[in-house]
Amino acid sequence: MREEEYDLCVDMQGLIRSAVTGWLAGTQAYAGSDAPRERVARWFYNRRVTTQAVHVIDRWCEVLGGAIGETLTAAAVPLPVDPAAEQWCDTLLAKHAPNGRFAVIAPTAGWGAKQWPAERYGAVAAALAEAGCTPLVNAAEEDNPLARAMVEASGGRAVIVTSSLAELTALLRRASLVVAGDTGPLHLAAALGRPVVALFGPTDPERNGPYGTRSTVIRHASSRRDHRRHHETEEGLLQITVEEVTSAALAAICASPEVEGDI
């Protein structure tokens, strides 16, 4: 990084780890939030930017804008289209969702506290299948235990789909709906402008929720923000019922008559 002789470094993450990494670049100007996620990180910056926004995307705009002396606002960013991934998606949907109506469900999350039970996702998947919307399960591998449990709970009506990032992007770009917790596929779907039903527990949707798309966020009043990586599902998240999620998912499907969305 020092060989590149950068003029400016901006720490968007606000962690000690990211702050140290940026400091190692050796730039004369090093900017970051005056209230980073880990407070010690701010001592590495020589340009501290005051932030007021709640959502992280708006806050990042404030940090980067303050670093370069401009007012920045969030904008849609078109993600690349990979021809090979599109062909893969065509083949997959011709087999499993020939009517073009399908929902992608992502039952996993970065840590256990954010994971709604797979059996409940399976019940939602069964209801979507009954409504004529094929449920596809996003999973890193075919034998993922959460994905398998979800398929079993759906009565075998959900289909596990493993994919590369480019393939997942192609799939989400065409999805009628995405149902997930606070996890990567949810936010990728939001970036692609697809409708989402988002289940939140220990993370705050006002700060980390889906951004820039039609979304239904479900979070129980008993949930409290807690980024400690507990293995067990957070108690507030467990208070969200299958009926709540199914109702929101079916309503979202009814509000999205198009088979594919142009981004």
Q: Render the burial of 56-73: b for 16+ CB within 10 Å, e for the rest.
A: bbbbbbbbeebbeeeeee
Residue 252 has pLDDT above 90, yes or no: yes
Q: Are 158 and 122 in contact (CB under 8 A)?
A: yes
Residue 14 has pLDDT above 70, yes or no: yes
Segment holding 102, helix H or strand E: strand 102-106
Residue 135 has pLDDT above 80, yes or no: yes
Query: CA 93, 97, 101, 102 torsion: positive or negative?
Result: negative
Q: Which pLDDT does position 258 carry in this prediction?
A: 55
**How many CB atoms are located within 10 Å of the residue 26 CB?**
14
Q: Which pLDDT does position 77 carry in this prediction?
A: 83
Average pLDDT over the chain reads: 93
Distance CA 263, CA 223 (A): 34
- Render pLDDT for 176-207 as a digit per residue (tens, 0 to 9): 999 999 999 999 999 999 999 999 999 999 99
Instruction: Summarize the confidence of residues 27-40 as an average pLDDT.
Output: 93
Q: What count of Cα atoms within 13 Å lies in the side-chain half-sphere of residue 235?
A: 3
- What's phi and psi for 160, nearest 5 deg? -75, 135
- Render pLDDT for 206-239 as a digit per residue (tens, 0 to 9): 999 999 888 999 999 999 988 888 999 999 999 9
Distance CA 181, CA 96 (A): 24
The model's pTM: 0.87
- From residue 77, alpha-carbon distances to 53, 190, 261, 263 in Å are 20, 11, 15, 10
Q: Which pLDDT does position 261 carry in this prediction?
A: 41
Q: Which pLDDT does position 259 carry in this prediction?
A: 41
Strand, helix or coil for residue 183:
coil
Distance CA 161, CA 164 (A): 10
Strand, helix or coil for residue 147:
helix
- Give percent above pLDDT 70 in the chain: 97
Question: Measured at the alpha carbon of residue 250, what is the angle toward residues 225 and 185, in degrees to the nearest 5?
Answer: 50
In order of their start, the domains of the chain are 2-68 (3.40.50.2000), 83-254 (3.40.50.2000)
Residue 20 has pLDDT above 90, yes or no: yes
Query: CA 11, 67, 206, 178 torsion: positive or negative?
Result: negative
Length of the chain (residues): 263
- Render pLDDT for 50-100 as a digit per residue (tens, 0 to 9): 999 999 999 999 999 999 999 999 988 889 999 999 999 999 999 999 999
Q: Which pLDDT does position 263 carry in this prediction?
A: 31
Q: Which pLDDT does position 246 carry in this prediction?
A: 97
Please provide the distance, in angstroms rounded to a whole number, between the alpha carbons at the two ends of the chain: 35
Distance CA 217, CA 226 (A): 18
